[in-house]
Amino acid sequence: MGNILFEQTTLKFPGMPRPAVNQVTCEVASGELVVILGPSGCGKTTLLKMVNRLYEPTSGRISIDGQDIKRLKPTALRQQIGYVIQQSGLFPHMTVAENVGVVPKLLKWPKARIQARVEALLDLVKLPPAEYCDRYPAQLSGGQQQRVGIARALAGDPDYMLMDEPFGAIDAITRSALQGEILRLQQQLQKTILFVSHDVDEALRLGDRIIVMNAGRIVQFDTPFNLLTQPASPFVHELLGADDMVRQLGLLPVNAAMMQLPDHYQNGNKPVVNAVDNLRDALSLILKTGAPELSVVKDGEPVGLLTLEHIRNCAVEANR
């Protein structure tokens, strides 16, 4: 496992007035999912593509796990970095199994190992191998294609993943489901992930931290919560819609706002929320059910109570 380190990384395309990526210095920690967020043309994709050397920086350095990537052979470097792109980029002439097996084949794994790996990965992304192995990409829905794209990127068991707006061309419902899958996979696999997005809600939901870029520079690099509550500039404030209180509530867990269970507590028939759910879900439950308070549970045991007032206090506290 390792980190990704950018040092004064700059890339200026010939004939362009300003560098696409300008003096970027930052570190993505091992096992962290970092979203690069920004408007189109801000250099987020360019920054991503320098990591697997699809672009070469004009100056500065990028290293993974302490090793300067310039010293590695591009093909060898790329084989140890999973890569997922927007239009899935699946090979139309290969079956699902063959697509997923490409990197293992490049790494010269024995056939039996490749087959076992392909089946395990298809299970992981919830496409039953028996049903999907022999299908062609054209026979899959957009969401299924992107699941195969993710499985394919994971095939060589890379420590790093680069994801270039992987869900940009997918309908809202499927996108939300796939974001959930990414969170689930990341909990399980703990890869170091760089994820490009222009969707604020996606960035807030997925990112452990978010790099906000504008005009080739990093404007702010922080956790979703800090970006919303302490935006470094009016640009960040506006880009993230930091005034949107409901958006903030989506980042606060219920157990940050709830009140401890009173001594002689009797759980009437109160609606129940989980302690790790966010306050946005809790708020909508209160509004939907009309209940004055919610019972907070952890591992099935009641641990606290939550009222509208608790939520409001918590939101006020966060913006102080």
Report the interface residues with other proteins, using CB under 8 A.
Answer: 52, 54, 74-79, 83, 85-93, 102-103, 106, 135-136, 138-139, 152-153, 162
We find the least distance from the C-beta atom of residue 26 to other proteins, in angstroms, to be: 22
Q: Which residues pair with 218 in a beta bridge?
A: 213
Is residue 257 within 8 Å of residue 306, measured between CB atoms?
yes
Residue 138 or 173 having the CB closest to other proteins: 138
| Distance of closest approach, residue 92 Cβ to other proteins, in angstroms | 5
Nearer to other proteins, 95 or 214 (CB): 95
Buried b (16+ CB within 10 A) or exposed e, 144-173: bbbbbbbbbbbbbebbbbbbbbbbbebeee
Measure the CA–CA gap between 181 and 104, rounded to whole angstroms.
23
| Rounded-to-integer distance, Cα 281 and Cα 278, Å | 6
Nearest-angstrom CA–CA distance, 135 and 43: 36
**Least gap, CB of 170 to other proteins (angstroms):** 14
Element (H, E) at 121: helix 111-124
Q: Which one, 88 or 295, has the nearer CB to other proteins?
A: 88
Report which of 21, 37, 3 is spatially closest to residue 223, judged by C-alpha positions.
37
Tokens of 199: 């969707």
Nearest residue (CB) to other proteins, 155 versus 228: 155
- Name which of 158 and 224 has its Cβ closer to other proteins: 158
Name the minimum Å distance from CB 295 to other proteins: 49
**CA 48 – CA 52 distance, rounded (Å):** 8
Rounded (to 5) percent helix, strand, coil in the chain: 40, 25, 35
Minimum Å gap between C-beta 57 and other proteins is 17
- Shorter beta-carbon distance to other proteins: residue 136 or 235: 136
Minimum separation from the CB atom of position 14 to other proteins (A): 17
Instruction: Give the CA count within 13 Å in the CB-facing half-sphere of 65.
Output: 13
Q: Provide Rg for the chain, Cα atoms.
A: 22
Q: Hey, what are 103's tokens?
A: 């990197």
Question: In the 8-state DSSP scheme, what is residue 168?
Answer: T
CB of 199: closest distance to other proteins in angstroms? 19
Whichever of 89 and 302 has its CB closer to other proteins, that residue is: 89
